[in-house]
Amino acid sequence: IGSGEQDEEIDRDAFTPGIEPQPTWCPGCGDFGVLKALKGAMPEVGRSPDETLLVTGIGCSGKLSSYFDSYGMHSIHGRSLPVARAAKLANPDLEVIAAGGDGDGYGIGGNHFMHTARENHDMTYIVFNNEIFGLTKGQTSPTSPKGHKSKTQPHGSAKDPVRPLSMSLSAGASYIARTAAVNPRQATEIITEAIEHDGFAHIDFLTQCPTWNKDAKQYVPYTDVQQSEDYDFDVTDRREAAEIMHETEDKLHEGEVLTGRFYVDENRHSYGQEKRSTGEMPEEPLAERYFDEDYEWE
Ligand code: SF4
């Protein structure tokens, strides 16, 4: 895995499986936008399929690894991050991407999200946020707005939704952005940046679910906070980032969609870098030991 040798120019078709069926997502699903943006980002990053691992959780979003031709693992509900962490620590040369839905990542796997961000593991985490559990047919999710009616909350959710960006910042992620499936150019740029970032890069990716969340916003029109003159803040300043994130999360449920980069810390070491700098982990990929018949395990 991860030879590091690139003989040919990489294009997005390199990540399209030759024998897989077409995606089974519903027409109009925002998940198509994530797949397109991810395929568009990989040539920009310059990593080939054999240098890339995509780990997904369970849900409509979990199918992403079936439609993306790289090393892949369709893992278990809420657990894509521990699998991704282990793979990255065993082979730091591998480009590791984890993905899942808002229920998978912010609910069932919320604990893993918090600690992967806290430890700043070097990977990209894409959360398909459609404010609903889609695959299981429309239950309320952690990002469903207060008052949202579903089969599980027929009288409307009594709970305020989680705040993914603020949660990520307070936990310790070193790159935090929000984009939307309706904005493919920005989505591609943000995924590219996130993959190139050394540390835990979290993307809250707004994806509409026209089948089970018909009342939900389609996330248009949106405002790119880096393009708008109404927003002027320093993405490297934690306090300013916290303020703009809070405003962004409030406005989403008031009908205004803010997207863009909200926080970037290029100086903090990733978990793997820390472990290697103290000698607790070897410089060479641990994975090599498993293939070394002469290696003597202690
Ligand atoms: Fe997409 Fe919703 Fe259909 Fe799932 S149920 S594929 S999230 S539109």
Residue 109 is given by DSSP the state T
Query: Is the CB of residue 127 less than 8 Å from the CB of residue 205?
Result: yes
In a domain, 37, yes or no: yes
Specify the pLDDT at position 21. 61
Element holding 73 (H helix, E strand): strand 71-74
User: Which CATH number does the domain housing residue 155 bear?
Assistant: 3.40.50.970
CB neighbours of residue 44 within 10 Å: 16
In a domain, 271, yes or no: yes
Query: Is the CB of residue 291 less than 8 Å from the CB of residue 285?
Result: no
pLDDT per position in the chain (298 positions), as tens?
444 444 457 787 888 887 656 899 999 999 999 999 999 999 999 999 999 999 999 999 999 999 999 999 999 999 999 999 999 999 999 999 999 999 999 999 999 999 999 999 999 999 999 999 999 999 999 999 999 999 899 999 999 999 999 999 999 999 999 999 999 999 999 999 999 999 999 999 999 999 998 766 677 789 999 999 999 999 999 999 999 999 999 999 888 999 999 999 999 999 999 999 998 888 888 878 877 888 877 7
Count the domains in the chain.
Answer: 1
CA 224 to chain centre: 19
CB of 209 sitting under 6 A from ligand 1: yes
CB of 130 sitting under 6 A from ligand 1: yes
Specify the pLDDT at position 286. 80
In a domain, 47, yes or no: yes
Which residues have CB under 8 Å from 287's CB, separation 6+? Answer: 1, 90, 91
In a domain, 295, yes or no: no
CA torsion angle 251 255 256 262 (round to 10) = 50
Name the residue range of residue 251's domain: 12-290
In a domain, 109, yes or no: yes
Q: Give 159's Cβ-side CA count (13 Å radius).
A: 11
Ligand 1 mean position, distance from CA 23 (Å): 11
60 CA closest ligand 1 atom index: 4
CB of 212 sitting under 6 A from ligand 1: yes
In a domain, 297, yes or no: no
Nearest C-alpha neighbor of 63 from the set 187, 179, 207 = 207
Complex ipTM more than 0.85, yes or no:
yes
Specify the pLDDT at position 3. 41
In a domain, 31, yes or no: yes
Specify the pLDDT at position 215. 67
26 CA closest ligand 1 atom index: 3
In a domain, 189, yes or no: yes
pTM of the model: 0.93
